[in-house]
Structure 1
Protein backbone atom coordinates (compact mmCIF):
# COMPACT_ATOMS: atom_id res chain seq x y z
CA UNK A 1 0.00 0.00 0.00
CA UNK A 2 2.79 2.40 0.87
CA UNK A 3 4.46 1.62 -2.46
CA UNK A 4 1.26 2.48 -4.34
CA UNK A 5 0.83 5.63 -2.28
CA UNK A 6 4.42 6.58 -2.93
CA UNK A 7 3.97 5.94 -6.65
CA UNK A 8 0.87 8.09 -6.67
CA UNK A 9 2.69 10.87 -4.89
CA UNK A 10 5.54 10.77 -7.39
CA UNK A 11 3.08 10.85 -10.30
CA UNK A 12 1.28 13.81 -8.79
CA UNK A 13 4.57 15.57 -8.25
CA UNK A 14 5.66 14.91 -11.84
CA UNK A 15 2.31 16.17 -13.14
CA UNK A 16 2.65 19.29 -11.03
CA UNK A 17 6.18 19.90 -12.34
CA UNK A 18 4.97 19.38 -15.90
CA UNK A 19 2.16 21.88 -15.39
CA UNK A 20 4.63 24.35 -13.96
CA UNK A 21 6.99 23.88 -16.91
CA UNK A 22 4.14 24.34 -19.38
CA UNK A 23 3.03 27.49 -17.61
CA UNK A 24 6.55 28.91 -17.73
CA UNK A 25 6.84 27.99 -21.40
CA UNK A 26 3.56 29.74 -22.21
CA UNK A 27 4.69 32.78 -20.24
CA UNK A 28 7.95 32.89 -22.20
CA UNK A 29 6.08 32.60 -25.49
CA UNK A 30 3.76 35.44 -24.49
CA UNK A 31 6.69 37.54 -23.34
CA UNK A 32 8.44 37.00 -26.67
CA UNK A 33 5.25 37.88 -28.55
CA UNK A 34 4.91 41.10 -26.58
CA UNK A 35 8.58 41.91 -27.11
CA UNK A 36 8.29 41.34 -30.87
CA UNK A 37 5.19 43.52 -31.00
CA UNK A 38 6.92 46.27 -29.02
CA UNK A 39 9.99 46.14 -31.27
CA UNK A 40 7.79 46.50 -34.34
CA UNK A 41 5.94 49.46 -32.83
CA UNK A 42 9.24 51.15 -31.92
CA UNK A 43 10.50 50.51 -35.45
CA UNK A 44 7.35 52.03 -36.92
CA UNK A 45 7.55 55.10 -34.70
CA UNK A 46 11.20 55.53 -35.53
CA UNK A 47 10.40 55.18 -39.21
CA UNK A 48 7.68 57.82 -38.94
CA UNK A 49 10.04 60.23 -37.18
CA UNK A 50 12.71 59.65 -39.80
CA UNK A 51 10.23 60.24 -42.60
CA UNK A 52 9.09 63.51 -41.05
CA UNK A 53 12.69 64.65 -40.55
CA UNK A 54 13.61 63.70 -44.10
CA UNK A 55 10.66 65.57 -45.57
CA UNK A 56 11.49 68.65 -43.51
CA UNK A 57 15.02 68.52 -44.88
CA UNK A 58 13.59 68.24 -48.40
CA UNK A 59 11.40 71.33 -47.86
CA UNK A 60 14.39 73.32 -46.59
CA UNK A 61 16.50 72.18 -49.53
CA UNK A 62 13.76 73.13 -51.97
CA UNK A 63 13.53 76.59 -50.44
CA UNK A 64 17.29 77.05 -50.74
CA UNK A 65 17.25 75.88 -54.36
CA UNK A 66 14.40 78.24 -55.21
CA UNK A 67 16.11 81.20 -53.56
CA UNK A 68 19.37 80.40 -55.35
CA UNK A 69 17.55 80.18 -58.68
CA UNK A 70 15.88 83.54 -58.06
CA UNK A 71 19.16 85.18 -57.15
CA UNK A 72 20.89 83.77 -60.25
CA UNK A 73 18.06 85.19 -62.37
CA UNK A 74 18.44 88.58 -60.69
CA UNK A 75 15.00 88.35 -59.06
CA UNK A 76 14.28 89.57 -55.52
CA UNK A 77 14.65 86.77 -53.01
CA UNK A 78 11.33 85.46 -51.75
CA UNK A 79 10.37 82.72 -49.35
CA UNK A 80 9.77 79.67 -51.52
CA UNK A 81 6.71 77.55 -51.01
CA UNK A 82 7.34 73.79 -50.92
CA UNK A 83 5.01 73.12 -53.88
CA UNK A 84 6.60 75.79 -56.05
CA UNK A 85 10.11 74.69 -55.11
CA UNK A 86 9.66 71.03 -56.01
CA UNK A 87 10.78 71.31 -59.67
CA UNK A 88 13.84 73.35 -58.67
CA UNK A 89 14.80 70.78 -56.03
CA UNK A 90 14.46 67.97 -58.53
CA UNK A 91 16.76 69.72 -60.97
CA UNK A 92 19.25 70.68 -58.25
CA UNK A 93 19.46 67.12 -56.97
CA UNK A 94 19.82 65.68 -60.46
CA UNK A 95 16.79 63.49 -59.85
CA UNK A 96 13.89 63.34 -62.20
CA UNK A 97 10.75 61.28 -62.48
CA UNK A 98 9.89 58.64 -64.98
CA UNK A 99 9.03 60.33 -68.33
CA UNK A 100 5.42 61.44 -68.28
CA UNK A 101 5.11 61.25 -64.50
CA UNK A 102 4.81 64.30 -62.26
CA UNK A 103 6.51 64.92 -58.94
CA UNK A 104 3.09 64.74 -57.29
CA UNK A 105 2.68 61.21 -58.69
CA UNK A 106 6.03 60.24 -57.23
CA UNK A 107 5.18 61.69 -53.82
CA UNK A 108 1.76 60.05 -53.82
CA UNK A 109 3.22 56.64 -54.70
CA UNK A 110 5.78 56.87 -51.92
CA UNK A 111 3.28 58.16 -49.36
CA UNK A 112 0.92 55.32 -50.26
CA UNK A 113 3.62 52.71 -49.61
CA UNK A 114 4.63 54.30 -46.31
CA UNK A 115 1.02 54.60 -45.16
CA UNK A 116 0.48 50.90 -45.83
CA UNK A 117 3.07 50.30 -43.10
CA UNK A 118 2.49 53.08 -40.59
CA UNK A 119 -1.26 53.58 -40.81
CA UNK A 120 -2.90 50.54 -42.37
CA UNK A 121 -0.29 48.06 -41.13
CA UNK A 122 -0.82 46.04 -44.29
CA UNK A 123 2.73 44.74 -44.52
CA UNK A 124 2.02 42.22 -47.26
CA UNK A 125 0.69 44.97 -49.53
CA UNK A 126 3.51 47.34 -48.60
CA UNK A 127 6.21 45.05 -50.01
CA UNK A 128 5.05 45.20 -53.66
CA UNK A 129 4.15 48.88 -53.22
CA UNK A 130 7.75 49.78 -52.36
CA UNK A 131 9.07 47.48 -55.09
CA UNK A 132 6.85 49.22 -57.67
CA UNK A 133 7.99 52.62 -56.44
CA UNK A 134 11.65 51.70 -56.97
CA UNK A 135 10.89 50.44 -60.48
CA UNK A 136 8.77 53.44 -61.48
CA UNK A 137 10.94 56.16 -59.93
CA UNK A 138 14.54 54.84 -59.96
CA UNK A 139 15.99 58.37 -59.72
CA UNK A 140 13.82 59.49 -56.82
CA UNK A 141 15.43 60.77 -53.65
CA UNK A 142 13.15 58.36 -51.81
CA UNK A 143 14.64 55.23 -53.41
CA UNK A 144 17.15 54.55 -50.56
CA UNK A 145 14.29 54.84 -48.08
CA UNK A 146 12.16 52.48 -50.18
CA UNK A 147 14.96 49.89 -50.22
CA UNK A 148 15.31 50.26 -46.46
CA UNK A 149 11.56 49.82 -45.86
CA UNK A 150 11.60 46.73 -48.08
CA UNK A 151 14.47 45.34 -46.04
CA UNK A 152 12.60 45.94 -42.80
CA UNK A 153 9.41 44.31 -44.07
CA UNK A 154 11.22 41.27 -45.45
CA UNK A 155 13.21 40.96 -42.23
CA UNK A 156 9.98 40.91 -40.21
CA UNK A 157 8.86 37.97 -42.36
CA UNK A 158 12.22 36.25 -41.71
CA UNK A 159 13.05 36.37 -45.43
CA UNK A 160 16.61 37.10 -44.47
CA UNK A 161 18.37 36.65 -47.81
CA UNK A 162 15.95 38.99 -49.59
CA UNK A 163 16.12 41.45 -46.71
CA UNK A 164 19.91 41.35 -46.84
CA UNK A 165 19.85 42.26 -50.55
CA UNK A 166 17.81 45.40 -49.85
CA UNK A 167 20.00 46.60 -46.97
CA UNK A 168 23.14 45.85 -48.97
CA UNK A 169 21.82 48.02 -51.78
CA UNK A 170 21.41 50.95 -49.38
CA UNK A 171 24.90 50.50 -47.93
CA UNK A 172 26.71 50.09 -51.25
CA UNK A 173 24.80 52.46 -53.53
CA UNK A 174 23.70 55.32 -51.28
CA UNK A 175 26.66 56.43 -49.21
CA UNK A 176 25.05 59.73 -48.22
CA UNK A 177 21.66 58.31 -47.25
CA UNK A 178 20.60 58.75 -43.64
CA UNK A 179 19.38 55.15 -43.85
CA UNK A 180 22.86 53.77 -44.45
CA UNK A 181 23.97 53.31 -40.81
CA UNK A 182 20.71 51.57 -39.91
CA UNK A 183 20.94 49.37 -43.01
CA UNK A 184 24.49 48.44 -42.06
CA UNK A 185 23.31 47.63 -38.54
CA UNK A 186 20.56 45.42 -39.95
CA UNK A 187 23.09 43.48 -42.01
CA UNK A 188 24.82 42.64 -38.76
CA UNK A 189 21.53 41.56 -37.17
CA UNK A 190 20.74 39.33 -40.15
CA UNK A 191 24.19 37.74 -39.99
CA UNK A 192 23.65 37.05 -36.30
CA UNK A 193 20.22 35.54 -36.98
CA UNK A 194 21.82 33.27 -39.59
CA UNK A 195 24.47 32.15 -37.12
CA UNK A 196 27.35 34.02 -38.79
CA UNK A 197 28.73 35.85 -35.77
CA UNK A 198 31.99 36.72 -37.53
CA UNK A 199 30.16 38.67 -40.26
CA UNK A 200 27.82 40.17 -37.68
CA UNK A 201 30.82 41.46 -35.72
CA UNK A 202 32.31 43.01 -38.86
CA UNK A 203 29.10 44.86 -39.66
CA UNK A 204 28.62 46.11 -36.10
CA UNK A 205 32.23 47.27 -35.88
CA UNK A 206 31.85 49.09 -39.19
CA UNK A 207 28.80 50.95 -37.87
CA UNK A 208 30.71 52.01 -34.75
CA UNK A 209 33.73 53.02 -36.80
CA UNK A 210 31.89 55.02 -39.49
CA UNK A 211 29.02 56.45 -37.43
CA UNK A 212 30.47 56.91 -33.96
CA UNK A 213 28.05 58.55 -31.55
CA UNK A 214 24.94 57.80 -33.61
CA UNK A 215 21.97 55.79 -32.36
CA UNK A 216 22.92 53.02 -34.81
CA UNK A 217 26.44 52.92 -33.34
CA UNK A 218 25.09 52.65 -29.80
CA UNK A 219 22.90 49.73 -30.83
CA UNK A 220 25.85 48.14 -32.62
CA UNK A 221 27.90 48.36 -29.43
CA UNK A 222 25.12 46.61 -27.54
CA UNK A 223 25.00 43.83 -30.11
CA UNK A 224 28.79 43.48 -29.98
CA UNK A 225 28.64 43.07 -26.23
CA UNK A 226 26.15 40.23 -26.67
CA UNK A 227 28.13 38.26 -29.25
Structure 2
Protein backbone atom coordinates (compact mmCIF):
# COMPACT_ATOMS: atom_id res chain seq x y z
CA UNK A 1 0.00 0.00 0.00
CA UNK A 2 2.87 2.40 0.72
CA UNK A 3 4.42 1.59 -2.64
CA UNK A 4 1.11 2.11 -4.35
CA UNK A 5 0.68 5.38 -2.53
CA UNK A 6 4.14 6.50 -3.57
CA UNK A 7 3.42 5.62 -7.14
CA UNK A 8 0.25 7.59 -6.98
CA UNK A 9 2.09 10.57 -5.63
CA UNK A 10 4.63 10.38 -8.42
CA UNK A 11 1.90 10.08 -10.98
CA UNK A 12 0.05 12.95 -9.48
CA UNK A 13 3.20 15.02 -9.33
CA UNK A 14 3.94 14.19 -12.95
CA UNK A 15 0.43 15.06 -13.91
CA UNK A 16 0.73 18.35 -12.13
CA UNK A 17 4.03 19.07 -13.89
CA UNK A 18 2.44 18.18 -17.20
CA UNK A 19 -0.45 20.49 -16.48
CA UNK A 20 1.92 23.24 -15.45
CA UNK A 21 3.91 22.73 -18.62
CA UNK A 22 0.80 22.77 -20.75
CA UNK A 23 -0.48 25.86 -18.93
CA UNK A 24 2.84 27.61 -19.38
CA UNK A 25 2.88 26.67 -23.02
CA UNK A 26 -0.71 27.88 -23.41
CA UNK A 27 0.09 31.07 -21.51
CA UNK A 28 3.09 31.78 -23.69
CA UNK A 29 1.04 31.02 -26.77
CA UNK A 30 -1.75 33.25 -25.52
CA UNK A 31 0.69 36.00 -24.60
CA UNK A 32 2.21 35.77 -28.05
CA UNK A 33 -1.21 35.97 -29.64
CA UNK A 34 -2.20 38.86 -27.42
CA UNK A 35 1.09 40.59 -28.09
CA UNK A 36 0.63 40.12 -31.82
CA UNK A 37 -2.94 41.36 -31.64
CA UNK A 38 -1.82 44.31 -29.55
CA UNK A 39 0.88 45.17 -32.06
CA UNK A 40 -1.62 44.87 -34.87
CA UNK A 41 -4.07 47.04 -33.03
CA UNK A 42 -1.41 49.64 -32.31
CA UNK A 43 -0.28 49.57 -35.91
CA UNK A 44 -3.88 49.78 -37.02
CA UNK A 45 -4.43 52.71 -34.66
CA UNK A 46 -1.36 54.49 -36.00
CA UNK A 47 -2.55 53.83 -39.53
CA UNK A 48 -6.00 55.05 -38.60
CA UNK A 49 -4.56 58.14 -37.01
CA UNK A 50 -2.43 58.71 -40.07
CA UNK A 51 -5.47 58.25 -42.29
CA UNK A 52 -7.47 60.61 -40.12
CA UNK A 53 -4.68 63.16 -40.25
CA UNK A 54 -4.49 62.85 -44.02
CA UNK A 55 -8.24 63.18 -44.27
CA UNK A 56 -8.13 66.20 -41.99
CA UNK A 57 -5.40 67.78 -44.12
CA UNK A 58 -7.35 67.04 -47.29
CA UNK A 59 -10.46 68.51 -45.71
CA UNK A 60 -8.61 71.69 -44.79
CA UNK A 61 -7.22 71.90 -48.31
CA UNK A 62 -10.70 71.46 -49.74
CA UNK A 63 -12.05 74.15 -47.42
CA UNK A 64 -9.24 76.48 -48.46
CA UNK A 65 -9.97 75.74 -52.13
CA UNK A 66 -13.69 76.31 -51.61
CA UNK A 67 -12.95 79.60 -49.85
CA UNK A 68 -10.63 80.63 -52.69
CA UNK A 69 -13.23 79.73 -55.31
CA UNK A 70 -15.91 81.55 -53.33
CA UNK A 71 -13.68 84.61 -53.21
CA UNK A 72 -13.08 84.38 -56.96
CA UNK A 73 -16.81 83.98 -57.54
CA UNK A 74 -17.59 87.05 -55.45
CA UNK A 75 -14.89 89.01 -57.27
CA UNK A 76 -16.27 87.89 -60.63
CA UNK A 77 -19.77 88.85 -59.50
CA UNK A 78 -18.52 92.33 -58.56
CA UNK A 79 -16.70 92.67 -61.87
CA UNK A 80 -19.77 91.55 -63.81
CA UNK A 81 -21.92 94.00 -61.84
CA UNK A 82 -19.44 96.80 -62.55
CA UNK A 83 -19.34 95.90 -66.25
CA UNK A 84 -23.13 95.90 -66.39
CA UNK A 85 -23.23 99.30 -64.69
CA UNK A 86 -20.63 100.67 -67.11
CA UNK A 87 -22.56 99.22 -70.03
CA UNK A 88 -25.75 100.88 -68.80
CA UNK A 89 -23.90 104.18 -68.39
CA UNK A 90 -22.48 103.89 -71.91
CA UNK A 91 -25.90 103.01 -73.33
CA UNK A 92 -27.48 105.89 -71.46
CA UNK A 93 -24.81 108.22 -72.86
CA UNK A 94 -25.40 106.92 -76.38
CA UNK A 95 -29.16 107.32 -75.99
CA UNK A 96 -28.70 110.85 -74.69
CA UNK A 97 -26.47 111.78 -77.63
CA UNK A 98 -28.93 110.22 -80.05
CA UNK A 99 -31.76 112.21 -78.51
CA UNK A 100 -29.73 115.36 -79.05
CA UNK A 101 -29.44 114.76 -82.80
CA UNK A 102 -32.30 112.41 -83.65
CA UNK A 103 -35.08 114.25 -85.52
CA UNK A 104 -38.43 114.70 -83.81
CA UNK A 105 -41.85 115.17 -85.36
CA UNK A 106 -43.24 118.68 -85.12
CA UNK A 107 -46.71 119.95 -85.93
CA UNK A 108 -46.91 123.75 -86.21
CA UNK A 109 -49.34 126.08 -87.95
CA UNK A 110 -51.01 123.14 -89.70
CA UNK A 111 -47.73 121.73 -91.06
CA UNK A 112 -46.04 118.51 -90.00
CA UNK A 113 -42.28 118.23 -90.41
CA UNK A 114 -39.12 116.79 -88.85
CA UNK A 115 -36.69 118.90 -86.86
CA UNK A 116 -33.60 118.28 -84.79
CA UNK A 117 -33.92 118.77 -81.03
CA UNK A 118 -31.60 121.77 -81.37
CA UNK A 119 -33.91 123.43 -83.93
CA UNK A 120 -36.93 122.88 -81.73
CA UNK A 121 -35.14 124.13 -78.63
CA UNK A 122 -33.96 127.36 -80.29
CA UNK A 123 -37.34 128.07 -81.87
CA UNK A 124 -39.11 127.49 -78.57
CA UNK A 125 -36.62 129.78 -76.83
CA UNK A 126 -37.35 132.52 -79.37
CA UNK A 127 -41.08 132.11 -78.82
CA UNK A 128 -40.65 132.30 -75.06
CA UNK A 129 -38.87 135.64 -75.45
CA UNK A 130 -41.71 136.92 -77.62
CA UNK A 131 -44.34 135.80 -75.09
CA UNK A 132 -42.45 137.70 -72.40
CA UNK A 133 -42.68 140.81 -74.62
CA UNK A 134 -38.90 140.95 -74.84
CA UNK A 135 -39.19 142.01 -78.47
CA UNK A 136 -35.57 143.03 -78.97
CA UNK A 137 -34.24 139.68 -77.78
CA UNK A 138 -36.96 137.81 -79.69
CA UNK A 139 -36.09 139.64 -82.92
CA UNK A 140 -32.41 138.75 -82.50
CA UNK A 141 -33.26 135.13 -81.65
CA UNK A 142 -35.52 134.63 -84.69
CA UNK A 143 -32.96 136.27 -86.99
CA UNK A 144 -30.23 133.99 -85.63
CA UNK A 145 -32.50 130.98 -86.09
CA UNK A 146 -33.12 131.82 -89.76
CA UNK A 147 -29.39 132.14 -90.40
CA UNK A 148 -28.52 128.95 -88.60
CA UNK A 149 -31.28 126.72 -89.98
CA UNK A 150 -32.07 127.97 -93.50
CA UNK A 151 -33.76 124.71 -94.51
CA UNK A 152 -35.80 124.19 -91.37
CA UNK A 153 -39.51 123.45 -91.37
CA UNK A 154 -39.83 126.28 -88.84
CA UNK A 155 -38.82 128.90 -91.44
CA UNK A 156 -42.34 130.17 -92.34
CA UNK A 157 -43.37 130.53 -88.70
CA UNK A 158 -40.00 132.05 -87.79
CA UNK A 159 -40.39 134.67 -90.57
CA UNK A 160 -43.87 135.55 -89.37
CA UNK A 161 -42.83 136.03 -85.75
CA UNK A 162 -39.63 137.81 -86.73
CA UNK A 163 -41.74 140.34 -88.64
CA UNK A 164 -44.03 140.77 -85.64
CA UNK A 165 -41.04 141.28 -83.34
CA UNK A 166 -39.66 143.90 -85.72
CA UNK A 167 -43.04 145.61 -85.87
CA UNK A 168 -43.16 145.70 -82.06
CA UNK A 169 -39.71 147.34 -82.13
CA UNK A 170 -41.00 149.86 -84.71
CA UNK A 171 -38.67 148.46 -87.33
CA UNK A 172 -41.39 148.69 -89.94
CA UNK A 173 -39.29 148.36 -93.06
CA UNK A 174 -37.60 145.25 -91.71
CA UNK A 175 -40.99 143.84 -90.71
CA UNK A 176 -42.32 144.46 -94.23
CA UNK A 177 -39.38 142.58 -95.69
CA UNK A 178 -39.84 139.60 -93.35
CA UNK A 179 -43.57 139.33 -94.06
CA UNK A 180 -43.05 139.81 -97.80
CA UNK A 181 -40.48 137.02 -97.80
CA UNK A 182 -42.99 134.73 -96.10
CA UNK A 183 -45.77 135.55 -98.58
CA UNK A 184 -43.48 135.08 -101.57
CA UNK A 185 -41.71 131.88 -100.51
CA UNK A 186 -44.60 130.18 -98.72
CA UNK A 187 -47.86 131.39 -100.31
CA UNK A 188 -49.88 128.41 -99.06
CA UNK A 189 -48.74 128.59 -95.46
CA UNK A 190 -51.39 129.21 -92.79
CA UNK A 191 -49.56 132.32 -91.54
CA UNK A 192 -49.31 133.99 -94.96
CA UNK A 193 -52.69 135.81 -94.85
CA UNK A 194 -51.81 137.19 -91.39
CA UNK A 195 -48.39 138.18 -92.68
CA UNK A 196 -49.97 140.19 -95.52
CA UNK A 197 -52.27 141.97 -93.06
CA UNK A 198 -49.28 142.74 -90.79
CA UNK A 199 -47.30 143.93 -93.78
CA UNK A 200 -50.10 146.36 -94.64
CA UNK A 201 -49.98 147.62 -91.04
CA UNK A 202 -46.25 148.30 -91.34
CA UNK A 203 -46.76 150.07 -94.66
CA UNK A 204 -49.40 152.22 -93.03
CA UNK A 205 -46.98 153.10 -90.24
CA UNK A 206 -44.44 154.41 -92.74
CA UNK A 207 -47.20 156.38 -94.49
CA UNK A 208 -47.12 154.25 -97.65
CA UNK A 209 -50.90 153.98 -98.01
CA UNK A 210 -50.78 152.92 -101.67
CA UNK A 211 -48.53 149.98 -100.87
CA UNK A 212 -50.78 149.10 -97.94
CA UNK A 213 -53.83 149.18 -100.21
CA UNK A 214 -52.17 146.90 -102.78
CA UNK A 215 -51.16 144.48 -100.05
CA UNK A 216 -54.71 144.36 -98.67
CA UNK A 217 -56.11 143.77 -102.14
CA UNK A 218 -53.67 140.90 -102.62
CA UNK A 219 -54.79 139.51 -99.28
CA UNK A 220 -58.51 139.70 -100.05
CA UNK A 221 -58.10 138.28 -103.54
CA UNK A 222 -55.66 135.51 -102.67
CA UNK A 223 -57.14 134.38 -99.37
CA UNK A 224 -60.81 135.38 -99.42
CA UNK A 225 -61.93 132.86 -96.80
CA UNK A 226 -59.35 133.79 -94.19
CA UNK A 227 -60.02 135.86 -91.07
CA UNK A 228 -57.21 138.18 -92.13
CA UNK A 229 -59.07 138.82 -95.41
CA UNK A 230 -62.20 139.82 -93.48
CA UNK A 231 -60.17 142.39 -91.54
CA UNK A 232 -58.55 143.48 -94.82
CA UNK A 233 -61.93 144.20 -96.41
CA UNK A 234 -62.90 146.46 -93.56
CA UNK A 235 -59.68 148.44 -93.87
CA UNK A 236 -60.04 148.71 -97.62
CA UNK A 237 -63.53 150.07 -97.17
CA UNK A 238 -62.24 152.72 -94.81
CA UNK A 239 -59.38 153.61 -97.18
CA UNK A 240 -61.74 154.11 -100.10
Task: Return the TM-score normalized by structure 1.
Answer: 0.55
Equivalent residue, structure 1, for 2:234:
222
* Aligned with residue 175 of structure 2, among 138, 163, 169: 163
- Distance in 2 between the 1:199 and 1:130 partners? 26
Contact 2:142 2:162 (C-alpha < 8 Å) held by counterparts: yes
1:106 aligned to 2:119?
yes
SS at match of 1:105: helix
The superposition leaves residues 124-146 of structure 1 with CA deviations (integer Å, 9 ceiling, x where unpaired) of: 21111111111111111111111
- Distance in 2 between the 1:197 and 1:123 partners? 26
Equivalences for residues 49-68 of structure 1 within 5 A: 54-55=107-108, 57-58=110-111, 61=112
SS at match of 1:195: coil
* Aligned with residue 174 of structure 1, among 157, 162, 186: 186
CA drift of 1:56 comes to 7.7
Equivalent residue, structure 2, for 1:141:
153
Q: Return the index of the structure with the highest Cα Rg.
A: 2
CA drift of 1:196 comes to 2.0
Contact 2:130 2:138 (C-alpha < 8 Å) held by counterparts: yes
Distance 1:56 1:190, change over 3 A: closer
- Distance in 1 between the 2:193 and 2:230 partners? 11
- Distance in 2 between the 1:154 and 1:132 partners? 14
Equivalent residue, structure 1, for 2:222:
210
Distance 1:209 1:57, change over 3 A: closer
Contact 2:143 2:162 (C-alpha < 8 Å) held by counterparts: yes
CA drift of 1:176 comes to 2.2
Distance 1:131 1:206, change over 3 A: same
- Distance in 1 between the 2:119 and 2:171 partners? 28
- Distance in 2 between the 1:205 and 1:56 partners? 24
Equivalent residue, structure 2, for 1:124:
136
Kindly report the root-mean-square deviation, in angstroms, between the aligned alpha carbons of the 2 structures.
2.0
Structure 1's unaligned 5+ residue stretches are 1-52, 62-88, 91-96, 98-102
Distance 1:226 1:209, change over 3 A: same
Distance 1:121 1:199, change over 3 A: closer
What count of residue pairs does the alignment treat as equivalent?
134
* Aligned with residue 205 of structure 2, among 152, 172, 193: 193
Q: Which runs of 4+ in 1 moved over 6 A?
A: none
Distance 1:191 1:122, change over 3 A: closer
Structure 2's unaligned 5+ residue stretches are 1-105
Distance 1:54 1:188, change over 3 A: farther
SS at match of 2:108: helix
Equivalent residue, structure 2, for 1:153:
165
